[in-house]
Amino acid sequence: MADLKSKENFSQTTDPEIGDSISITQNEPYDGNVSKWQAFKDSFKEVRLEDTMDTSNMTDLEKAIAKTAHSPLQKNLKNRHLQMIAIGGSIGTGLFVGSGSALANGGPAALLIAWLLVGTMIFSTVHAIGELAVRFPISGAFNVYSTRFLDPSWGFAMGWNYALQWLIVLPLELVAASITIGYWNSDINKVAWVAIFYFFIVMINFFGVKGYGEAEFVFSLVKVLAVVGFIILGIILNCGGGPKGGYIGGKYWHNPGAFSHSFKGVCAVFVTAAFSFAGTELVGLAAVETQNPRKSLPKATKQVFWRITLFYIISLTLIGLLVPYTDDRLGTASDASASPFVIAINNAGIGGLDSVMNVVIMIAVLSVGNSSVYACSRTLTALAGQGFAPSFLLYVDRKGRPLWSTAVTLTVGLLCFVSASPKQGDVFNWLLALSGLSSVFTWGSVCGAHIRFRHGMKAQGRDPKTELAFMSQCGMIGSYYGVILNILILIAQFWVALFPLGASPDPTVFFQSYLAFPVIIAFYIFHKIWKRNWSFYIRAEDMDLDTGRAEHDLELLKQEIAEEKAFIASKPWWYRLYAFWC
């Protein structure tokens, strides 16, 4: 084997305010005769962050901000990756299967009310994420914003809350993927399929963020095409164009009716709708690994409107028209047999499409499993950067892979083999309980961080209209709406958990639905005691509004923003309308 010679490449960034720098030192082979095997082994070597800042006089908060602002994660996500993640990334079993139990619990009217309300909240939340992520494309995103603009203790709780969510989702989704195979053949032990899917997820993440981006691009494309195809087919079936014929119209809204279980049913659907949007925020998490977040992230943020409108609202409207909420098959399984999409197709007398939809459900499950590895590994790395997790989780190799964080995520993913145990249901129910409310807290915290960020700009005499490359179209009003609606979701979940639909109060059911709340409070109190941080919020005047900022030359940025606004203003109305929504 040829001798490996190396050189040190230094890429240096300088913080616009404090003037200190961080050097990323990387030993790279430059001998053209180096074997591919040696180059492959060297790719796993660590990218070392040589911190040349004097941190001796920094507070814990300042150190956390500095560490997450400079990340060796590679910017390998392209615009098409981010757009497709935004359009179809969170479309999963919540829509394809979970909407069935929601329809049974609330009826078609409750389905639309809940998804519309939660959808508008998600739209506001993603715009808040977009504004913050374009300004600060930093490692960790969500919990870091809470740390910077709300309170470090709350950021600690939110970070571990978010990491636990995805740690637990991975084994759950692997088991769910094996269950979808049982729709065709239940003779093969599902543990074998769990092993195959686990290996598949490991291989995707072996290729780093580029592997995640390409996989999600394909997965999301399949899901989007499936939903669009169902919408077209659903309109035809409703108008009587199916093999069995017969105009359906809105008869199921009259018989059995628009609502099931009255207002309590609406609250139950409200909670299900919130969970179906889990993962929408991943666009903001991916900003730090995107080639040009300032250009691609605003477009991806705006795509969420079309996803909510086209893929959720229209498809669920058709589900409510095609399937009565009294159908016994709704919400009885985790595969295609309980999907209202498949039930609608079977009711129309169309054969074969149920298998196609089951393939889509399996792809959606694998997509969530793939995203869980990405989200958890990046969150753990950011927690380590803030001093909230062991420092070995900061290890990032030359391909931009957070190796130890990914290894921890995949190791916990081995819980998927609990599926071989007869107690797997109990195990997974309690694991899921630990993070069942994670997304709700994450969304509410992002909206709260956005509100505090704007207050910080105002208190420090900064003008968001001239300083922000992208501003939330919903503004602070949208973020206030997001905070309020997330609180209402928590209240609705508490009520439904304490008094389940059609059942008596049960402590087991309650804690499996609401255990995440006391866990988050425990994390929060633990950090207060650990760091002896007895303040409950960060004063607006003291907020750091510059470290990790995407643009270092503020005056140049103001000039570019003014030119962009003038350019759009000079265009015809249809172009301005397109620029606003797309």
DSSP string of 468-489, one letter each residue? -SS--TTHHHHHHHHHHHHHHH
Contact 442, 483 (CB under 8 A): no
Domain 83-551, classified CATH 3.40.50.970, yes or no: no
Q: What is the pLDDT of residue 267?
A: 85
Neighbour-count burial for 288-321, b at 16+ CB within 10 Å, e otherwise: bbbeebbebbbbbbbbbbebbeebbbbbbbbbbb
- For residue 512, what are the CA distances in angstroms to 99, 432, 433, 493, 525? 20, 8, 5, 11, 22
Q: What's the mean per-residue pLDDT of the chain?
A: 81
For residue 12, what pLDDT is reported?
A: 41
Q: Does the pLDDT of residue 476 top 90, yes or no? A: yes
The arithmetic mean of pLDDT across residues 360-366, rounded, is 87
Q: What is the mean pLDDT of residues 88-108?
A: 83
Task: Please give the pLDDT value at position 89.
Answer: 67
530-546: burial string, b at 16+ Cβ within 10 Å, e else: eeebeeeebebeebbbb
- Residues 308-321, mean pLDDT to the nearest whole number: 87
Task: Give the DSSP H or E segment for 1.
Answer: none
Q: Does residue 297 have a pLDDT over 90?
A: no
Cβ distance 78 to 213 under 8 Å? yes
Q: Determine the pLDDT at residue 55.
A: 58
Between 275-279, 317-321, 411-415, the lowest mean confidence (pLDDT) is in: 275-279
Q: Quick one: 499 exposed, middle or buried, by C-beta within 10 A (0-12, 13-18, 19+)?
A: middle
pLDDT at residue 134 tops 50: yes
What are the residue ranges spanned by the domains of the chain?
A: 83-551
Indicate if the pLDDT at residue 20 is higher than 70. no
CB atoms within 10 A of CB 369: 27
Is the pLDDT higher at 36 or at 203?
A: 203
Structure confidence by residue, pLDDT tens digits, 491-544: 988 888 888 877 788 888 888 888 888 989 999 999 999 988 888 888 999 888
pLDDT at 54: 55
Residue among 252, 383, 304 at smallest CA distance from 123: 304
Pairwise CA distance, residues 538 & 442, whole Å: 18
Q: How far is CA 237 from the centre of its chain?
A: 33
Residue 316 CA to residue 100 CA, distance in Å, equals 10
Q: pLDDT for 259-284, tens place per residue?
A: 888 888 888 888 888 888 888 888 87
Coil vs helix vs strand at 463: coil
C-alpha–C-alpha distance, residues 10 and 13, integer Å:
10
Residue 14 pLDDT class (50, 70, 90 cuts)? very low
Q: What is the pLDDT of residue 410?
A: 92
Tokens representing 408?
């921890």
Kindly tell me if the per-residue pLDDT of 231 is higher than 50: yes
**Can you tell me the distance from the alpha carbon of 251 to that of 198, in angstroms, rounded to the nearest whole number?**
45
Residue 334 pLDDT level (bands cut at 50, 70, 90): low
Residue 560 has pLDDT above 80, yes or no: no
What band does 453 get if pLDDT is binned at 50, 70 and 90?
A: very high
pLDDT at 352: 80
* pLDDT confidence tier of residue 398, bands split at 50, 70 and 90: confident
